[in-house]
Amino acid sequence: MSESETYLSKHIYTLFSFDTEYCADSVEWCPHKPNQNVFVCANYQLQVVQSEGEEKKRRLGRILLFSVKEHDSLILHQTIDTAGVLDQKWCHSIVNGYSLLGVVNSINMVEVYKLKSDKIEIELVTSIKNVCDCDDALILSLDWSTGVHGSQEPEIICSDSKGGIHLMKLVNNSLVLLNTWHGHKFEAWISAFYYWDTNIFFSGGDDGIFLKFDKRVGNQIVGKNQSHHAGVTSLHTSCFKENILVSGSYDENIRLWDIRNIKNEVNSSHMPGPVWRVKWNPFYENYLLAVCMMGGVHILDVEYSKIDIIGSYHEHKSISYGADWSYLDSECGEKNASKRSGIIATCSFYDHLLCVSKYVTDTRIHSQQSDLTDVQGTI
């Protein structure tokens, strides 16, 4: 180590907070202008009711549509009551002139909404029910195929609570189920495309396994990894670097992979809690957002040789489940012109708390003669 070195550290400050009433499990920012200040928060609430002397469970949900104006206001524009929502994702590219939101829920259904062009409101475009052949299945995750290559007929990959993986395509505003794979013994918590070649996709399950598929070879599994010591909960491929995949697990580890060899990890890092979601920053290739349930939300600087936590957020007192990078830059209101600052949204489950926060970069100088000191940023 040299006599003195410069370190960059992200400090995260809450701008807005909101009580979602129902348990909150997902937040997703719209990627498209002029609506990059718009995001959705998903809710999942298990309700136990007595009916004819028996306990019956109902899984309720809501989709909450918000917009933000930095330092000014958080506005709730729309509340859609629905079944319990397990995951939601905006399509990366505009389709037929609209921003599309994919939603999966607790009644075995995948839905696609569009953001209206005349006001901040979403409306249902299409849905497909009974995706899984089991009536009591929950659809747990989804991903769009459009991370690198846009399409007017994008595909969706989703996974379910019975271990199934399902591939569908949006054609003429209708979802068409293309194929189904049974990959896992228990819940398939996550499914994700390899964005550089969407013939390839991945899934992770509660059996501690993540799998690689290639739709060109039918229903066989083309790769299998058992490195994680508990359920694999999150997978995300990089839109900047080909062949790069990151995984997260209940075993409290994040692992970096080259998809050409998923037997041996490139790097790994032990996190402060079970990892529920990992998301690459949409503009800066090395930043990763990690949601660590009871261990907080963290910004990581990820390289082949190291994985460093450079910012942490602990305002959520319950299980942190959802987090996403905004496509806004906190300084100029447009997409990230600088990696020095930005906006994130996070949410937690039992305390039904949604937070919108700003991260800023502080420069710190390390000297062998003195300890590191925190430099307070300003909002």
174 within domain boundaries: yes
pLDDT of residue 370: 27
Q: What is the CATH number of the domain that holds 238?
A: 2.130.10.10
**CB atoms < 10 A from the CB of 126, how many?**
17
Distance CA(259)–CA(319), nearest Å, equals: 30
C-alpha torsion sign, points 17, 19, 24, 26: negative
Does residue 378 lie within any of the structural domains?
A: no
Q: Which residues of the chain have pLDDT under 70?
A: 1-8, 70-71, 329-339, 363-379
- Span 103-137, pLDDT tens digits: 999 999 999 999 999 999 999 999 999 999 888 89
Neighbour tally for 116: CB within 10 Å? 14
Element (DSSP H or E) covering residue 144: strand 139-144
Number of domains in the chain: 1
Q: Report the alpha-carbon distance of residue 322 to residue 25 in Å, rounded.
A: 5
Q: How far apart are CA 303 and CA 278, in angstroms?
A: 15
Peptide bond into 34 cis (omega under 30): yes
Nearest to 170 by CA among 215, 127, 199, 217: 127
Domain that holds residue 154: 4-367
The answer to whether residue 93 sits within a structural domain is yes
* pLDDT (0 to 100) of residue 341: 85
Is residue 37 a part of any domain in this protein?
Answer: yes
**Eight-class DSSP state of 95:** B
Task: Answer whether residue 374 is part of any domain.
Answer: no
Kindly give, in sequence order, each residue whose CB lies less than 8 Å from that of residue 375, ignoring residues fewer than 6 positions away.
Answer: 362, 363, 364
User: Is 372 within the bounds of a domain?
Assistant: no
Say how far apart CA 227 and CA 277 lie, in whole Å: 18
User: What pLDDT is stored for residue 57 in this prediction?
Assistant: 86
In a domain, 373, yes or no: no
Q: Report if residue 75 sits inside a domain.
A: yes
